[in-house]
A and B are shown apart, each in its own frame.
Chain A
């Protein structure tokens, strides 16, 4: 049997699941959806314009013997209240796709990183008014945070803690609009 750890390493490597999400979303309303596609299309309850695959929360989907499916997720923050909703949404999505026997596993190692957010995910966050994190954590000190509304780089942090566990509250000095920003980690 494949363990969740080895399956995730083999399958995701950080981006493989995310890369499937476009086709998964496109196929979401057709019959014969694979378990991976169904799980990949589940949206985040607090950021409903991106999927859990695009956010890097979805780590692996393994079809086991007898039609059982094991879905492995890594929560963004330990106290993220969205996790229980995500678990339930994954179960519902897979049941709808013909997989009623689902086990949702939580894996904490390695901890979730914003580096796992896909290119599509970053674009969708920005389109929805949420400034995406820097692509890598190493550039944290040199990044320019652009306002997702007007694109100005003249922005400032209002509070390191925002309306969700994974975002900080920022403001644009040019257009004066406040906006959330996903914190690097």
Chain B
């Protein structure tokens, strides 16, 4: 149980960490200043959740700490879903990724807040409150762009279509989650995404083949490596460096 719990916590922690790093890349390049502040805040929330989860995962395995997990693993060792490692693309892609992620994290954290493990439940309860803002933000942008100009509508639909196969990975079989009794929030996700896309005058893409990737098993896209190179460069060049 403890090994499974550690693996599970590491997976959702890696989702948050990689999402934080991708969002952080956008700092000072958003279309308007308010959006810059918003995306940086969301990145900070994701990083905060990631630190708590990785710290706990390290304690459960009795090996290392949040820093060794974040900075000393290669791509094969990361357990995040591939959705969060994809490049930011245009603003529509950034928003669609956040929408898919937050629509999954929000109900998942709500479930985990009632999980028998007190530590994980506490982290999930706090992170869930923040996730609600992320979901609301992404949904509002999706609606504004989808129901906006012809160009913004086209780009938003393109982003949804492009990311759709990766979103399916959120709901593929995860043996670790199954063993500790956590089922992914499929119904909540479908309902939230369906309602948001409808209001945005966008259509739900047809079912797509899931790419032969499985982030939870360490099978990633080529995009994760360069992301980690940048994130880990300081720690690798100066082991144990502190601010």
Contacts and interface: CB of A to CB of B under 8 A. Distances in A.
Given A78-B127, A78-B130, A109-B125, A161 B42 contact: yes
Given A109-B118, A161-B42, A165-B44, A78 B126 contact: yes
Interface of A: 77-81, 107-112, 158-163, 165, 169, 183, 185
Contacts, number: 68
- Overall SS of chain A's interface: loop
Given A79-B47, A108-B52, A109-B118, A161 B127 contact: no
- Overall SS of chain B's interface: helix
Contacts of B118: 109
Interface of B: 34-35, 37-38, 40-42, 44-49, 51-52, 118, 121-123, 125-127, 129-130, 133, 136-137
Given A79-B49, A80-B48, A159-B34, 16 more contacts: A77-B48, A77-B130, A78-B123, A80-B44, A107-B122, A108-B126, A109-B122, A111-B122, A160-B136, A160-B137, A161-B38, A161-B133, A162-B41, A163-B37, A165-B44, A165-B45
Contact of A111 (B35, B37, B125): B125
B48 A108 contact: no
A153 to B, nearest CB: 22
A81 B129 contact: no
B23 to A, nearest CB: 11
Contacts of A165: 41, 44-45
17 contacts: A77-B45, A79-B44, A79-B45, A79-B46, A80-B44, A109-B121, A111-B126, A111-B129, A112-B126, A159-B37, A160-B38, A160-B133, A161-B38, A161-B133, A161-B137, A165-B41, A165-B44
